[in-house]
Amino acid sequence: MARERLVDRHLNSYLPAIDIGQRTGGAMSSVTVVTSDAPELSAQLALLDTVDSATRRLLDTVGKLTDADVPGPSLCEGWTRGHVLAHLSRNADGLVNLLLWARTGIETPQYASQFLRDTDIEMGAPRPIAEQLDDLRAASDRWLALARAMPADRWPTPIRTRTGKELPAAQIPWLRLREIEIHHVDLTVGYQPADWPDEFVARLLSEVVAGLDRAATPNVPPGTKPMTSDPAEPKPPTFTVSTTDTGYTATVGPAPTTTVSGPAAEVVAWLTGRSDGTGLTGELPTLGAWL
């Protein structure tokens, strides 16, 4: 694809010591990044190996699919498996843009526009599985190569995601891991939330609960009255989350009215819309967006 050749040419100036085609056991060979005395930064960068492992699991799954599987439905409403695969490839390229932003200091949006993002996904969705797999592997390799070559002092650089959220570049590996693990499940070809690594489940659960809590908790300055809300718009639910296997407990919103409990992976699958909550206990409220 012309887009891929353009990305490769753009990356060449930043990857002088890396052969993008070089792999070890199917994974990108490692380039060590020294993180000096920043433990939080070291923890973020340790995610690169985790992303690599998750990518290999995803590629192994995709490698077993056939052309007949591509137009089948995914867990993403309105998307086929082909849409999910095309999105995963273009997401890698979008996160390359954010890495370049951090590395160069030149603002490089994740996507040129929402329209072009959506168009790329639509155009890429119907491709045969061999082309989907090659694209996903190449895009993933490009992202990982640039991430491994990032100078340590550039990781704290603030960037903005496509939703406008400002984050340090050190969060980008987590953004990629989250996309890979969740959309791997969305393919509905055997990989389940129960297959998610425990560390991923714990971090995702905490993140999702925090997001839902922000949505359910009115941000009203002291001494002022909250604005009247639209009566036609349902209020965000308030509830307690409790995991039966890890001991995690947290509340969403003020004055929770119910407790939802179950294994951590099943709880976070329900919170992110990847299950209907079958197997969980408690009255399940209707959830809003978690991102």
Domains and CATH numbers, the chain: 40-191 (1.20.120.450), 198-218+235-291 (3.30.1050.20)
In this prediction, residue 133 has a pLDDT band, given cuts at 50, 70 and 90, of very high
**pLDDT above 70 for 279:** yes
Average pLDDT over residues 178-192: 99
What per-residue confidence (pLDDT) applies to 23? 34
Tokens of 95: 């996160």
What tens digit of pLDDT does each residue of 217-226 get? 877 455 544 4
What per-residue confidence (pLDDT) applies to 37? 43
Give the predicted TM-score (pTM) of the model: 0.85
106-126 burial code (b ≥16 CB/10 A, e <16): eebebbeeeeebeebbeebbe
What per-residue confidence (pLDDT) applies to 11? 58
Helix (H, G, I), strand (E, B) or coil at 95: helix
In this prediction, residue 230 has a pLDDT band, given cuts at 50, 70 and 90, of low
Task: Give the closest residue to 93 by CA, choosing from 117, 128, 76, 75.
Answer: 117
**pLDDT above 50 for 29:** no
Tokens of 184: 């791997």
Measured distance CA(77)–CA(66) in Å, rounded = 22
Positive/negative CA dihedral, 104, 106, 111, 112 = negative
Average pLDDT over residues 122-143: 99
Report the amino acid identity of residue 136: L
